Amino acid sequence: MLELEKELNASQIKAVTLTDAPLLVIAGAGSGKTRVLTYKVAYLLENGYKPWEILSLTFTNKAAREMNRRIEQLIGEGRTRHIWSGTFHSIFARILRQEAANIGYSPNFTIYDTTDSQSVIRRIVKEMGLDDKTYKPARILSCISEAKSRLVLPDAYAADTAIMRRNAARNISETHRIYKRYNELLQQSDAMDFDDLLLMTFLLFRDHDDIRRKYADRFRYILVDEYQDTNYAQHRIVMQLAPGGCICVVGDDAQSIYSFRGANIGNILSFSDQFKDTKIVKLERNYRSTKNIVRAANSIIAHNKRQIHKDVFSEEAEGEKIKVISAYSDKEEAIIVSKFIGNYHLRDHTELNDIAILYRTNAQSRAIEEALRDKNIPYRIYSGLSFYQRKEIKDVIAYLRLIINPHDDEALRRVINYPARGIGSTTLGKLQQAASDNGCSLWEACQHPTEMGADLNKGTLGKLGIFLQLIDDFREKEKTLDIVEATKYVVTTSGIQNDLLTDDDSESKRQNVDELLASIAHFAEERREMSGEESASLSQYLTEVSLLTDTDKTDDGSPKVTLMTVHAAKGLEYDTIFITGMEEGLFPSESHFASSAELEEERRLFYVAVTRAKKRCILTWCKNRFRYGKTEICDPSPFLDEIDASCLDKSSKTEGAGKNVFMNSTGSYGTGSFSIFGTRSSKSNNWHRATGSSSSGGTVPPRSTTGLQRLRKSDDTARNVDSIS
Ligand code: ATP
Ligand code: MG
């Protein structure tokens, strides 16, 4: 039974129980927005709504899982099983798979990641004979992505004089042609990119009113967290689905930090214009942080001109002042942070799980990781999706993708000659040309190369035939084997296993492939627990992998410090927060010189960072930082001066004499029981960086082995910190 009075304040209760009008909860950090959504779902379930009538959109899938877990604690196990909850992308991928036939796709369409998309663009640029230095794939993809997130299709793009003028000024006036061709190639490959998941959903609902109505009727209530970071496409889809206004969105304009990805703060500001009779609830009491932290955060955000005024306050203890610490170098900064953590843990008994280290850019993590390893402090890192970007992992996944969708050109190109089977680049070029001439996928061109005009000799045709048989065999096996067995079969039969076994230097690659198997097994198990499905499908697994966000990785929860970017920390909270790299040009990033709007976005990001802290916040900066291949002299961040001086600990300035530290890191996913190489020793499914070579690229000097050896022995238990000096 829900006891709202005990758990929520009056404004929060109002937000939970108001269901007969569109509702906008606009509130400061830590004021209980996510808590309101959680209780609201529980309230709806207690008041006659069926789980499948509720659509709950969160910023990460992990947040959705946590919300459901909490709801089950409140009203009973199993009650959330059929709620439609997850990110916009994962929910809409699910809808698109169900309705794929209506938009010319198969239910098994592939979701291209950024690398796939850029590779397609690279090919188009070549095909069109354009200069690849001007038409850089990342640059063009970002134009296409922006267009898609604004629901601008290629023809409208070409007809938009403002866009055309802007592109001409940037010397990329052919972008509209690339955009058009890009969509054609994706469609041919039965593939969508991330932005398509939104764009296609919008088009599906726009062009098939019966389908739109089906979902609008099904979802009797829609809830959206972090609404300030939705883009135009998401906003419009929400409007398509909630014409009657059975919707509650929550957000904080002061925490809008994704405008670079097309998020539009205007969506939240104009919500009440879009939905008639919107009720607005403001929450101003921060339940998360100490008075000092809330005051400091308020003083930071007060420097932004564009914002809705809020009087956020805390009734918690006054708390510690914020420390600002300068270091000589980035290495020393990392060492200082690790020493502080050691002290907090040993002296104040702060749990490692209650500590997070934040940074503006992923590259900053390397020095910090090194220092933590030196002190044997276990950590987890939420950074990019490096595990799934590794070559050996991408190779296996490409085979799996081909099983589900053989028209997936990018996957086929990747493995047609890996492991080497004598189908070289000339052959691939001929097949590619044939596919292009016939407007079909590479797979189709491979089936009938001669008829399609690819002039291949008998030997090559034979080799191609063997490859096609291999894929057909995999497709057959997938029908009968479970996903772990099917993947094992692929790794052994494709020749990948042999290839990795014959290479002495492939130990870490073998480990990674074993870890991939473990992650698939883990996925299947979770799926069984969460939705009661007997067996998870490969297609579901691939969708999940392609839509992973930084913080989605599963973790066994053992005591570890968390490392992540400020962006990834959105919505999360920790007792102790370190914000590192508080330097001009890093935080705020250099982009802030471009405009005051950019500076305001950086400041909102800083506000997000500080408001993650419940009790303690430590800001660090260094005078010399190794960046872009050289050591740069740094100035402190101007944001440091913006914090109300009364909130700062004046005595906290520390400068130590750093020692030389080399860096080396990699991520891994671990459990040993699914090994086909027998390489893993770790016993749990956890993300940690432990062994191997650099994942961040660049040349890394060899490091002394002592730290690594110690880490290998100790891995992930709290006892490691006993040795902290
Ligand atoms: P953010 O803006 O960072 O997303 P938020 O507004 O979503 O924050 P929550 O994460 O929901 O805030 O709440 C912050 C913390 O305060 C959580 O630990 C939550 O459980 C707690 N909290 C919120 N409201 C109450 C309340 N009425 N009583 C006790 N604790 C509360
Ligand atoms: Mg929240």
- Any idea of the CA torsion for 361, 367, 373, 374, to the nearest 10 degrees? -160
Going along 51-209, which residue ranges are E strands? 54-57, 84-86, 110-111, 191-192
- Closest-approaching ligand to the CA atom of 570: 1
Q: Which is nearest to 274 in space by CA: 250, 242, 231? A: 242
Residue 278 vs residues 194, 567, 641: alpha-carbon distances, Å: 31, 30, 39
Cβ-proximal residues to 77 (8 Å cutoff; 6+ apart), any chain: none
Determine if ligand 1 sits within 6 Å of the CB of residue 35.
yes
CB 685 within 8 A of CB 713: no
Query: In this predicted complex, what is the ipTM?
Result: 0.99
Q: Is 371 annotated as a binding residue?
A: no
Q: Are 284 and 31 in contact (CB under 8 A)?
A: yes
Residues of the chain with pLDDT under 70: 383-386, 530-534, 550-555, 652-725
Print burial letters for 434-446: b (CB count within 10 Å at least 16), e (below 16): bbeeeebbbbbbb
Decide: residue 479, CB within 10 A, 0-12 exposed, 13-18 middle, 19+ buried. exposed
Residues linked to residue 630 through DSSP beta bridges, in sequence order: 627
Atom of ligand 1 nearest to the CA of 608: 3
**The pLDDT of residue 511:** 83
Percent of the chain with pLDDT over 70: 87
DSSP-derived 3-state class of residue 606: helix
Segment 583-631, tens digit of pLDDT? 999 999 987 777 888 899 999 999 999 999 999 999 999 999 988 778 8
The pLDDT value given to residue 591? 78
- Phi, psi for 236 (deg, rounded to 5): -70, -35
* Residue of 288, 312, 577 to test ligand 1 pocket, by largest number of atoms within 8 Å of CB: 288
User: Strand pairing partners for 577?
Assistant: 356, 617
Cα of 561 vs its chain's centroid, Å: 19
pLDDT at 261: 75
Sequence length of the chain is 725
Q: What is the pLDDT at residue 725?
A: 25
**Could you tell me the distance, in angstroms and rounded to a whole number, from the CA of residue 82 to the centre of ligand 2?**
23
Tokens 């006993």 sit on residue: 722
Which residue of 3, 4, 16, 34 sits with most ligand 1 atoms within 8 Å of its CB, as the best mutation to test the pocket?
Answer: 34
Strand-pair category, 322-329 with 613-627: parallel
* Per-residue model confidence (pLDDT) at position 290: 98
Residue with CA nearest ligand 1 atom 17:
288
**Ligand 1 centre and the CA of 316: distance in Å?**
13
Dist CA 57 CA 225 (whole Å): 6
pLDDT of residue 707: 27
- Using alpha carbons, select from 233, 183, 244 the residue that is nearest to residue 204: 233
The verdict on whether residue 100 carries a ligand-binding annotation is no
- What is the atom index within ligand 1 of the atom nearest the CA of 283? 6
Signed CA dihedral, 336, 340, 346, 352: sign only = negative
Widest Cα–Cα separation across the chain: 81
Among all bound ligands, the one having the nearest atom to the CA of 58 is 2
- Report whether the peptide linkage leading into residue 588 is cis, meaning its omega lies within 30 degrees of zero: yes
Residue with tokens 């790299």: 581
Instruction: Give, in order, the Cα–Cα distances in Å from 529 to each of 45, 57, 535, 553.
Output: 20, 21, 11, 17
Q: Ligand 1 center to residue 529 CA distance, Å?
A: 28
Instruction: Give the DSSP letter of residue 377.
Output: -
Phi, psi of 679 (to 5 degrees): -100, -25
Q: Is 176 in the pocket of ligand 1 (CB under 6 A)?
A: no
How far is it, in rounded angstroms, from Cα 595 to Cα 578? 28
- Other C-beta atoms closer than 10 Å to the C-beta of 273 total 9
Look at residue 105 and give its three-state secondary structure: coil
Give the E-state strand segments of 135-241 in sequence order.
191-192, 221-224
> How far is Cα 24 from Cα 453, in angstroms, rounded to an integer?
60
SS3 353: helix
Buried b (16+ CB within 10 A) or exposed e, 453-471: ebebeeebeebbeebeebb
Q: Strand, helix or coil at 109? A: coil
- Residue 417's pLDDT is 95
Residue 2 has a pLDDT of: 87
CA nearest to 554, candidates 532, 534, 529: 529
Closest ligand 1 atom, residue 287 Cα:
16
d(CA 53, ligand 2 centre) in Å: 23
CB atoms within 10 A of CB 23: 25
Q: Where are the beta strands (DSSP E) in 106-260?
A: 110-111, 191-192, 221-224, 247-251
Q: Round to whole Å and give the CA distance between 675 and 22.
A: 51
Residue 502, annotated as binding a ligand: no
What is the pLDDT, as a whole number, of residue 677? 60
Q: What is d(CA 41, CA 15) in angstroms, rounded to the nearest whole number?
A: 11
| Residue 104 is labelled as binding a ligand | no
24 contacts 268 by C-beta, under 8 angstroms: yes
Residue 91 CB neighbour total at 10 angstroms: 21
Between helix 114-127 and helix 175-188 the angle, nearest 10°, is 120
